[in-house]
């Protein structure tokens, strides 16, 4: 199988650079989804595109309708077929690809995230994508979290499945997930039921500086459950000099909320976090503010801690609104869960990767931080008795994720494809 | 009539010093009420003592039961007759004295407040009551607001009525009110109905430094409506190191309330005030506080402003409790209203006092501040079509009201008695 | 003189509508200043334009340089002569016009404010300027505070002076002031010294609903001293999930400031106000905020109260910054003072206006609220022994000042011009 | 050696009950110290009592002088010799006992804490000390944290050393430490230098419910570094109705501090805690508060986190004082450090205890929470290259530590004495 991957490398690089050059934000991956879909269609996969892949109501943090429409027009102009676009209308991007070998065996799921970030990519020569001509062509949008690579890896794995079906057993489901950033896209895919009968689930991320290309981690540890809320307060304006007593001060509702959120008590069981990242309120100096808006994020090491943070936060928001006699709304715009990789996969993955030309070392576990919405899929799989892990694929990084100069060693693509191939061969019980 | 007053002066001084030497706090004026009553009884007044004079349920800010019981025992030991004590049991102090001339004429009401303050009186020679041997005999209780004088004036006026009944017309009601401090005693007297058919109502205060003895003000301006609340929060304690997440923090409910009360917006219509005068919370350093307590006061120039302050304060208290998931209670422990003296009384009082040996000058109006619960009686009288005023009787003050060295010129007593006599003669239509 | 005004009416209306159709924001009145100047130049006034009229350093709340440049280009394109534009470069708008009769007499100053507001004018037929074709031609800029009328009145008064110089005595200074909105433009004119030897100073405003056209108020009462601050906090950002302890939270510095500003204690001496009208902070949900910005306004009935508010506010801002270890800056972007009109002008103005066909009634005083930076000029005049007043010119208003449908009865223009003419004739000692 | 302990049991129980019946609060252990000292004196130890054992200036959270004096009188009346009392005057309690075998060997330190708690002991029959007649004879003081047992264990160990000196090598220092509660007494003993040349240091606690009598833990894990502050704010009072602007509000300085302390950000490195356990402010409802007082506690898993908490707290206190223009003082009244038991002692202790009749099981580590000032001694020993551990001695507990019904199985005393004997024999190189 090494030769399969070796021969695929030029294709992997081409895919990666093509996706990198045309990044799309979460729930606006119309062109990206179409491109992925056309490749998979050619390979013979059964496809479920857009609304077929997502439970629409479960989406969180959807972009504004005007932005969606504008981007749909752009996608149409670019050449996305009308039939495809119809399936994706109104922010229903992403797709699910199924392959059934027809032989008895496990059902294995893989998840690849495909969205980009609202970051302006570095245009200087020192930045490889700029130097080599595949820098982002979109103003202020950039693949700065390696999802171009993840997408590429997914296509590589798909190609192996399609071309080696007779050697494989069981069934494979590949989820090309939109809107991972902000923890928004896993939920609608999970709620559509794709994970309900999966026996083993694999996902992962490119890049952790402490591991070289060729080193992978079989599991990770440290992701926090997170909840993202957008909060709006609506009061009544009043002339602050003339009638201060008539106003219902939405600015004060927000500032009171902010000051008290940070005071949510620590939890006996472990790590928690809270942040108010953004606050805007008011329209004019001498007007008692009628509107305010906040973006907050709550995290916890376990679901219990996470729930503690959310329950307390909602209590504070409600009470601050009541204190200032204003209306409020809380919109959930993203959620990730805590996760726990199945440790029994460690010796298996280690064994399956033995002798690989690409995977030179398998670490049992890598420490991570932040949040990841693959957690929702993993937890669903595990609830139904399946096994799941989230892996890391090592590469040197000169700049951290989400940096305008983020880039990685493209050799990691082959490592990851190889890893997944060995897993699907091993995991599906191939002999 | 000047000669009546002149001859009364030694008696006035004796009364005043006797009351001064045995001060009693609000709703604990058992001995004071008894002493007043015995004098009035001897003069022939119809008396309504204690529960006969008050609507019990309307009392606010009652002392603790243990303190009441202790003081009742003390009063019994002092010599208050059992029958009298029974009428006053459980903090029902004060009395109302009625006199009907039997002749057609107006019904005139006078109010005299009789309670003392929780202040330790100065024991030094430089303080006249100490030097002259009538300093307070009660530890930490003192007539530092001249109510000893007000009580004395009431008795002087009563003596005139009783001895000149045939020269007078109409009916006279004298209210010897308990618990003026804190705005607690006027309410239960008002609610008993004594003011409901009063045609003219007079009350006043000794002492404003800008007016000499002999100068009086026919009306006053500037008292604010006030509301006094005791607030209690009840949460759940928890070990702050072990389980910070289990506590429901009553201390934070109180501090949040305090910080937000001061931010109640100013009012277009005029002056408002807010203060948290006292706050206690918590029991031990490493325990999340289960209990907290606050004493607050809200004021407004008009009832509308006062209501604005109260409504906003209650909203803040409730929301702070909800924010920290604790229970709360708000106890009203005192209330005064804004008042508006009837200006048409100014020329009348001025005319009635003309030619007096004691009242040398009548100012139309004096500015005051603070609050006064005679306001509740005045407003009741005015609602029913009667006229009302609150007057001031000038005297030099070396120390302000409520000071441990507070004292006044005793000559003011004759001035005030004379003023009220001229009013009741003039006001009842006597020629 | 009535006939002068009567004949001037068509011209007044034309001026007013011309200014209305091309409104300019404060310190960007390049075209407005030029238009006024060309009229006055033609009349023979001695002009001091832009930098000649203002002390540059004393300007507050200057627009951004880019906006100034853009507007200067626009003015050049419109036809403002290069020489004029040079004098006004970089937000030095407004002008002062002097006229000396050469005869001994008082020096009388008049102030007319010329700037517009950032309001989108109503485009509907029901709005007279829209119906009659002189609606604002500028997007989101509107003369919604009658300064188009004030400017017009100034030109009318100037025309009278220029055409009746031989009948007049003394000296006249007309200040066409920029940037009254926000209290920004009076200061640089005052600091240039124009008021230092003025004997009598007159200014005023169109419109108070309780007075019909033809009724004027000789003085006003109730303007509050005000101070406008822009506050910036600069902290250090940090990943809120990873390293919450490394951030220096500028958002919390702002919210802490906001919550505490409203709690500045009320003042014994009278009315005070405080408002945080605008607050923006932070860039992203999971980043501890590095920047925040607030627009606040403080008011007081007297300079003493105003200083109390400012001193307390600065203390709160500083302490909030220190609490969160962030830097801060406070920029004063506007200031008005309290004012006290000279009451002795009431009988004079009343007498001067007797018999006028236009001015039918002179009220002694009108209550107002809000703030007015003519106060700075008035106080300077009074400090040097001159007299000053701020008047009101009645008109029915269907919508309040600063409303997108604000409009007034154009008949008021003649009333105001007539008033000022009678004042300058009377005040300069003409018989 | 088992027989030594077995024979000692009646003595252990007697000691324990004697100490239990006469508990003394921290820095007031005059009688307790004297009793311990007399026993040790009889055994032949070299003693350093009170001021000889403590660095006076290093004491934190000293009781009020009046309380100390009263208790010294009580101790004198009880029978504490004058010479002993002189050494302990003014809260210098506790003692250090030294024993030198004269033979080459390690210097081993043991610490036993001797103070009681301000808790009213349960008087009911169901509470064993009450039933058996050794309930606390002191009102509101109780040995509810087993220090009576710790003291007893110390005497038992001492008796062994004194009676088996010829079998032992090296040197032994026994620290009978005052005022462990609040983290106040370890510091002055450490600063006196007793730990500076100790090779191995042992301390421990009775009772953890998950371990039966006979089970001990060789090390513990989880104590947090803690800092206890008493905070005082001093402002200026003012009549809240009359002159709200003149006050400098100490109550608001405290409430602002409280609200912001809870918002100190979490730390990347681990657990932190903050609590305001007590807050009192103000004297009267309508007076702006001049005084306020708070008791707070800060904790951190590491010294770095602890310092983060302390630095932020001090910043908040200072800024809150500045915000309200009041003075403040911060008094450190207790400090504990984080600790790390030397893991290499685990196998040694396990081995030394093998075959014991009393010590049936040695667990390597027990999880704990809370704080312990033995940490200061341990860290000093480890800094100088010594080894140290803090152990637990299992016993069933029907009620938790610090509960009015706290009690433990007295059999644990023998287990602990046996453990320390085996350690000192093993640790000093005995053969």
pLDDT tens, residue by residue, B281-332 = 998 898 899 999 999 999 999 999 999 999 999 999 999 999 999 999 999 9
pLDDT at D431 (0 to 100): 34
Residues in chain A with CB shorter than 8 Å from the CB of D263 are 259-260, 262-263
pLDDT at D2 (0 to 100): 61
* H-run or E-run covering D204: strand D200-206
Cβ <8 Å between C241 and A370 = yes
The closest CB to that of C273, out of B266, B271, B272, belongs to: B266
pLDDT averaged over every residue in chain C: 95
Residue ranges of E strands in A29-170: 46-49, 95-100, 107-113
Q: pLDDT for A98-150, tens place per residue?
A: 999 999 999 999 999 999 998 889 999 999 999 999 999 999 999 999 999 99
CA distances from C360 to A257, B132, C347, C352, C415 (A): 56, 71, 15, 12, 9
Instruction: Please give, rounded to a whole number of angstroms, the shortest distance from the CA of D242 to a CA of chain B.
Output: 6
Q: pLDDT for C98-152, tens place per residue?
A: 999 999 999 999 999 999 998 889 999 999 999 999 999 999 999 999 999 999 9
For the cut 60, the answer to whether the pLDDT of residue C431 exceeds it is no
User: Which residue in chain C is spatially nearest to A286 when comparing CA positions?
Assistant: C277
In DSSP terms, C231 is beta-bridged to C294, C330
For the cut 90, the answer to whether the pLDDT of residue C239 exceeds it is no
What ipTM goes with this model? Answer: 0.82
Q: Which residue has the tokens 């011309």?
A: C18
Q: In chain C, count of helices (H) and strands (E)?
A: 12, 14
pLDDT at D239 (0 to 100): 86
Contact yes or no for C209/C407 (Cβ under 8 A) = no
Structure tokens at D35: 């009793």
Map residue C314 onto helix, strand or coil: helix
| Dihedral of alpha carbons B337, B343, B347, B348, sign | negative
Structure tokens at B166: 């045939």
Helices A147-163 and A2-21: crossing angle in degrees, nearest 10, is: 140
In DSSP terms, C227 is beta-bridged to C298, C335
Closest Cα to residue D201, out of D430, D431, D427? D427
Between CA A209 and CA C49 the distance in angstroms is 65
Cβ <8 Å between D282 and B299 = no
Residues in chain A with CB shorter than 8 Å from the CB of C297 are 240-241, 285-286
Map residue D332 onto helix, strand or coil: strand
For the cut 90, the answer to whether the pLDDT of residue B401 exceeds it is no
* H-run or E-run covering A14: helix A2-21
Structure tokens at A261: 């959120």
Residues in chain B with CB shorter than 8 Å from the CB of C273 are 266
Cβ <8 Å between D244 and C268 = yes
Q: How many CB atoms lie within 10 A of CB B140?
A: 12
DSSP codes, A347-388: HHHHHHTTT-SS--EEEEEEE--S--THHHHHHHHHHTT-EE
Structure tokens at D75: 């101790």
* H-run or E-run covering C315: helix C303-323
Name which of C261, C278, C280, C320 to mutate to probe chain A: the one with the most chain A Cβ atoms within 10 A of its Cβ.
C278
Q: How many CB atoms lie within 10 A of CB A351?
A: 12
For the cut 50, the answer to whether the pLDDT of residue D430 exceeds it is no
Buried b (16+ CB within 10 A) or exposed e, C63-97: beeeebeebbeebeeeebeeebbebbebbbbbbbb
Q: Which residue has the tokens 């210097």?
A: D107
Confidence of residue B431 (pLDDT cuts 50, 70, 90): very low
Paired sense of beta strands B225-234 and C46-49, if any: unpaired
Q: pLDDT for C7-31, tens place per residue?
A: 999 999 999 999 999 999 999 999 9
In DSSP terms, B5 is beta-bridged to none
Buried b (16+ CB within 10 A) or exposed e, D174-213: bbbbbbbbbbbbbbbbbbbebbeebbbbbbbbbbbeebeb
For the cut 90, the answer to whether the pLDDT of residue A351 exceeds it is yes
Q: pLDDT for D206-238, tens place per residue?
A: 987 789 999 999 999 989 999 999 999 999 988
In DSSP terms, D367 is beta-bridged to D221
Chain Cα centroid distance, residue D148? 12
Cβ <8 Å between D265 and C242 = no
* Sheet strands side by side (includes A272-281): A327-336, A225-234, A291-300, A272-281, C272-281, C291-300, C225-234, C327-336
The closest CB to that of D285, out of B259, B262, B277, belongs to: B277
Contact yes or no for B66/B128 (Cβ under 8 A) = no
Rounded to two decimals, the pTM is 0.86
Q: pLDDT for B88-134, tens place per residue?
A: 999 999 999 999 999 999 999 999 999 999 888 999 999 999 999 99
The closest CB to that of D268, out of C242, C267, C322, belongs to: C242
Q: How many CB atoms lie within 10 A of CB C124?
A: 11
Buried b (16+ CB within 10 A) or exposed e, D371-388: bbbbbbbbbbbbeeebbb
Closest Cα to residue B65, out of B88, B90, B31? B90
Contact yes or no for B250/B310 (Cβ under 8 A) = no
Cβ <8 Å between C266 and B273 = yes
Residues in chain C with CB shorter than 8 Å from the CB of B259 are 259-260, 263
Q: What are phi and psi of B340, to 5 degrees?
A: -140, 105
Between CA C258 and CA A257 the distance in angstroms is 12
Residue A198 exposure: Cα atoms within 13 Å on the Cβ side: 28
Between CA D255 and CA D251 the distance in angstroms is 6
Cβ <8 Å between A259 and C262 = no
Q: Which domains does chain B have, with CATH numbers?
A: 2-223+339-427 (3.40.630.10), 226-336 (3.30.70.360)
pLDDT averaged over every residue in chain D: 95
Contact yes or no for B261/B313 (Cβ under 8 A) = yes
Residues in chain D with CB shorter than 8 Å from the CB of B254 are 255, 279
For the cut 50, the answer to whether the pLDDT of residue C430 exceeds it is no
CA max distance for chain A:
83
pLDDT at B347 (0 to 100): 96
Structure tokens at C379: 């106080």
Q: Which residues contact A292 (CB under 8 A, 6 or more apart)?
A: A232, A233, A235, A250, A251, A253, A254, A279, A280, A281, A282, C279
Cβ <8 Å between B289 and D278 = yes
Q: pLDDT for D298-344, tens place per residue?
A: 999 999 999 999 999 999 999 999 999 999 999 999 999 999 999 99
Residues in chain A with CB shorter than 8 Å from the CB of C286 are 275, 277, 297
Q: Which residue has the tokens 């390293």?
A: C243
Instruction: Please give, rounded to a whole number of angstroms, the shortest distance from the CA of A115 to a CA of chain C.
Output: 18
Q: How many CB atoms lie within 10 A of CB C193?
A: 10
Structure tokens at D163: 């009676």
For the cut 90, the answer to whether the pLDDT of residue A191 exceeds it is yes
Between CA A286 and CA A241 the distance in angstroms is 7
Instruction: Please give, rounded to a whole number of angstroms, the shortest distance from the CA of A123 to a CA of chain C.
Output: 23
For the cut 60, the answer to whether the pLDDT of residue A189 exceeds it is yes
User: Neighbouring chains of A at 3+ CB pairs within 8 Å?
Assistant: B, C, D
Closest Cα to residue D112, out of D178, D165, D191? D178
Between CA D332 and CA D318 the distance in angstroms is 15
């Amino acid at each position: 199988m090494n030769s399969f991957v070796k021969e695929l490398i030029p294709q992997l690089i081409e895919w990666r650079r093509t996706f990198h050059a045309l990044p799309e934000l979460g729930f606006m991956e119309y062109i990206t989804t179409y491109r992925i879909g056309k490749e998979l269609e050619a390979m013979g996969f059964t496809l479920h595109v857009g609304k077929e892949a997502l439970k629409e109501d479960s989406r969180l943090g959807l972009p504004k309708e005007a932005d969606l429409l504008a981007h749909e027009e752009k996608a149409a102009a670019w050449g996305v077929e009308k039939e495809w676009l119809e399936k994706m209308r109104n922010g229903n991007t992403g797709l699910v690809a199924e392959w059934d070998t027809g032989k008895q065996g496990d059902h294995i799921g893989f998840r690849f995230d495909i969205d980009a970030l609202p970051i302006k990519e570095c245009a200087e020569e020192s930045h490889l994508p700029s130097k080599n001509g595949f820098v982002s062509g979109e103003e202020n949008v950039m693949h700065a979290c390696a999802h171009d690579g993840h997408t590429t890896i997914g296509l590589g794995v798909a190609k192996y499945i399609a071309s080696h079906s007779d050697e494989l057993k069981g069934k494979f489901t590949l989820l090309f997930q939109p809107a991972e950033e902000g923890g928004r896209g896993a939920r609608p895919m999970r709620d559509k039921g794709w994970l309900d009968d999966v026996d083993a689930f694999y996902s992962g991320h490119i890049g952790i500086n402490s591991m070289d290309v060729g080193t992978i981690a079989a599991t990770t540890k440290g992701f926090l459950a997170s909840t993202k809320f957008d909060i709006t307060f609506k009061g009544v304006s009043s002339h602050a000099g003339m009638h201060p007593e008539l106003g219902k001060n939405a600015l004060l509702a927000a500032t009171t909320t902010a000051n008290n959120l940070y005071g949510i008590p620590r939890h006996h069981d472990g790590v928690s976090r809270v942040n108010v990242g953004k606050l805007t309120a008011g329209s004019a100096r001498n007007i008692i503010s009628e509107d305010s808006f906040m973006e907050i994020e709550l995290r916890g090491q376990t679901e219990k801690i996470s729930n503690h943070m959310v329950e307390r936060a909602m209590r504070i928001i409600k009470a601050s609104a009541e204190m200032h006699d204003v209306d409020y709304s809380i919109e959930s715009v993203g959620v990730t869960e805590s996760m726990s990789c199945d440790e029994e996969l460690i010796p298996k993955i280690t064994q399956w990767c033995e002798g690989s030309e690409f995977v030179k070392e398998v670490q049992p576990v890598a420490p991570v931080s932040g949040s990841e919405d693959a957690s929702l899929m993993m937890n669903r799989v595990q609830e139904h008795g399946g096994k799941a892990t989230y892996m890391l694929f090592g590469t040197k990084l000169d700049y951290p994720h989400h940096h305008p100069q983020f880039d990685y060693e493209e050799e990691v693509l082959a490592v990851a494809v190889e890893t997944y191939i060995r897993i699907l061969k091993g995991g599906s019980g191939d002999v």
